[in-house]
Structure 1
Amino acid sequence: MGRLVPAVTRALDILELFLDSEGPLTAPDITRRLQLPRTTVHELVTTLSARGYLVPVPDQPGRYRLGVRTYQLGSRYAEQLDLAAEGRQVARSVAETCDETVHVAILEDMDVIYIAKVDSTHAVRMVSAAGRKLPAHCTSVGKMLLASLPENELDARLAASGPLAAMTPNSITEPDALRGALTEVRARGVAVEQRESNPDVSCVAAPVRDSGGRVVAAMSISVPMIRWSDERQDELEALAVKGAAELSGRLGHRGRA
C-alpha cells in the first residue's frame, strides 16, 4: 500500500465534519475541530468550493455547506449498491462469529424472500436456500419487516392475504395475535421466532435500513433447538443487531435505528 497523501486526508476530514454537523460550518469552526493551521484550512476550503464539494451559504458570510458534487457521488454510490452482495459479505462475518446460519431477507406482500445465506459449519443446522420464500408471519425476519410497516399498510396486506397459514403448531395464525407480536418487536427492536417455521429451529432478526432510514431488509440468525437457550438468545440478538447495523452502514444509513 502506498503512503497517504496529507492534503487529501485533510480535505476528506473537512468533508466528513459535515456528516455530524447540525448545520453550516465556518473556516474557524473547521480549524478548531481539526486543529489545523488557518492558512491550510483556508486553502482546502477554497479548493473544495472551487470543485463544488462545498458551497457558501447565501446571506451567511463565511459559512459553508456541502455542495452538489457530494450528492452526485453519493447517488452514484447508491446506484452501484447490491443489497444481496453486501448482505452476503456481512452475513459471512456474522456466521464466522457465531457459527450459525445467517440469512438476509426482504418482504414481498406477506412473504419473505431470502436474498443471502451463509451456512453454519455444524452438522446439525438449518436447511434453507437463497431465493426461498416463506410466510412472513412465521419467521423472525418476516416479523421484523412487518413490524416496520405503517399500520394502514399492514392492515391492507393482512386483508389481502387471507388466513394466516400455520407451518408448525407454534405458528401465529390470528391477525390480532400477530399485531401483538409486532408491537413487541417494535418495542424491543429485534424479532424472535421459536419453532414457528421449523419445529426444530429458532431464530432472531434485526432490521437493515437504507440511507433514508427505511427498513429494506432484515438479518437473522437461525439456531437448532439443541443449541438454543435464553443465554444464547441474548448473545445472538446482540450479534444480529450488530450485523444488521453494519449492513445498514454499507447501505448509507447513519445513526441509531
Structure 2
Amino acid sequence: MKKVTTSIPALDKIMRVFDYLLECDGATFTQIHQHSGIAKSSTSSLLNGMVAHGLLRQEKDKYYLGLRLYELGNKASEQYDIKKIALPILEEIRDSTGLTCHLGVLEGASPIYLLKLESPQAIVIRSWEGKRLSLHSSGLGKVLIAWLNSEDLDELLPEDQLLPRFTETTITDINILKQELAGIRRRGWGYDNEEDCQGVRCIAVPVFNHQGKVVAALSASGVAFQIPDDKRESLATLMMDASRRLTHLLH
C-alpha cells in the first residue's frame, strides 16, 4: 500500500483508506483500521464522512469504494486529454527529424489517428486525424497490438483470417505477423517497411499507462529516403525516448 505523507494528515488518512480498498473487495471497519494504521476513533469518523460524501458505500459490515469516485474518474478522464499532453513531444520529433508525426490509439478493431503533425518538408504523407489504419501493415497498428494477450489478439486477427496485401512487403501470414509482434516487444519499437503504402516507411513506439498497458502509440513517417536503413536505429532510439517521456507524463 502506498504511504505518502503531506502537510494535510486528514487527506493522507483518506488516501490510505482508498489505497487499501483498491486492493481488496470490500473491507470491515476492523480491517481498515488495522491496515491503514489510523486510530479507531479517527477511523470511525473518517469512514462516516466518506460515506456521507459518496466516496465510500457501506453494505452491512463492509465498506466499498463509492460511485462518487466513478463520477470523478470519468470527469478526470475527459479533462486528461492525451492529445494535449503528447503534442509538445510530437512537435519535438517533427522538428528534429523533419518527418510526419502521429499519435494513434486502438478504437475497437482499428487503429485510428488522433493527432497528425505535417512534415516541414515539401513531402506529403497521405493521412489525416480520424483516419483508420490496418492492424497488420501499419507500424502504429502493429505496436498497438504487440502487447495484447493471445486471446485478445486472436479475437482481432483470427488465425483463419486472410490478411490483405497492400504492397510487396506486406505481411499476409498470421504466424509471421506474430513473430513480428514478438520482435516488437523485444526491441520496443515497430517498423513499417513500405508495408502499407509503397515508398512510405514508419517507426512507431508504444505508450503505456500506469498498469503497463499500451494505451496509445507515437509514429514518425516519411518516404524511403527520409528513413534509410542506416538511420533506422537512431530514429528508433529517439522515438523510444519520446515514448518513455509520454508514458511518464501519463502516470
- 1:100-145 per-residue CA deviation (whole Å, 9 max, x = no partner) reads 1111111234431111111111112423111111211111111111
What is the alpha-carbon root mean square deviation over aligned residues? 3.1
| 2:8 matched residue in structure 1 | 48
Q: Corresponding residue for 1:177? A: 176
Q: CA deviation at 1:62?
A: 8.7
Please say if 1:155 is aligned against 2:151: no
Aligned mates of 2:142, 2:93 — CA distance in 1: 20
What is the CA–CA distance in structure 2 between the aligned matches of 1:60 and 1:85, rounded to whole Å?
39
1:213-255 C-alpha deviation (Å, 9 max, x unpaired)? 2101111111211222233111211121122222222222xxx
Structure 1 pair 78/23, CA: closer, same or farther in 2 (3 Å)? same
| 1:104 alignment partner, SS class | strand
Residue 142 of structure 1 corresponds to which residue in structure 2?
141
Q: Encode CA deviations 1:137-171: one digit per residue, 9 max, x unaligned.
A: 11111111111111111112212993211121111
Change (3 A) 1:160 1:115: farther
2:249 corresponds in structure 1 to 250
Seen in structure 2, the aligned counterparts of structure 1 residues 51 and 127 have a Cα distance that, compared at 3 Å, is same
CA distance in 2, matches of 1:196, 1:233: 16
- What whole-Å deviation, never above 9, does each CA across 1:11-43 have from its counterpart, x for those lacking one? xxxxxxxxxxx8647xxxx8xxxxxxxxxxxxx
3-state SS of 1:106 partner:
strand
| Whole-Å separation in 1 of the counterparts to 2:124 and 2:189 | 22
Q: Secondary structure at the match of 1:137?
A: coil
Query: Could you say which residue in structure 1 is the equivalent of 2:132?
Result: 133
Q: 1:160 to 1:81 in 2, by over 3 A?
A: farther
Does the CA-based 8 Å contact 2:137-2:171 persist in structure 1?
yes
CA distance 1:61–1:179, shift in 2 (3 Å):
closer
Partner of 1:112: 111
Q: Distance in 2 between matches of 1:51 and 1:205?
A: 41
In structure 2, the residue corresponding to 1:134 is in which secondary structure? coil
2:83 maps to what in 1? 84
Letter in 2 for 1:50: A
TM-score (norm 1): 0.69
| Residue 214 (structure 2) aligns with | 215
- 1:240 alignment partner AA: M
CA distance in 2, matches of 1:141, 1:172: 14
Question: CA, structure 1 residues 52+23, in 2 after alignment: closer, same or farther (shift >3 Å)?
Answer: closer
Q: Cα offset for 1:93?
A: 2.2
Indicate conservation of the 8 Å contact 1:110/1:135, yes or no: no
AA partner of residue 227 (structure 1): Q
Given the superposition, is the C-alpha separation of residues 23 and 128 from structure 1 closer, same or farther in structure 2, using an over 3 Å criterion?
closer
Q: 1:184 to 1:117 in 2, by over 3 A?
A: same
Q: Is the 8 A contact 1:111 1:133 kept in 2?
A: yes
Q: Please give the alpha-carbon distance, in whole angstroms, between the structure 2 residues aligned to 1:60 and 1:170.
A: 57
Q: TM-score, normalised by structure 2?
A: 0.71
Asked if 2 retains the 8 angstrom alpha-carbon contact of 1:88 and 1:117, the reply is no
1:159-198 alpha-carbon deviations (Å, 9 max, x no partner): 2993211121111111111111111111111111100011
Decide which moves more: 83-92 or 143-152.
Answer: 83-92
CA distance in 1 between partners of 2:162 and 2:176 (Å): 13
Q: Distance in 1 between matches of 2:155 and 2:186?
A: 22
Q: Contact 1:203 / 1:223 at 8 angstroms: preserved in 2?
A: yes
Aligned residues, how many? 207
**Structure 1 residues without counterparts, runs of 5 or longer:** 1-21, 31-44, 253-257
Structure-2 residue corresponding to 1:198: 197
* Partners of 2:16 and 2:36 within 8 A in 1: no
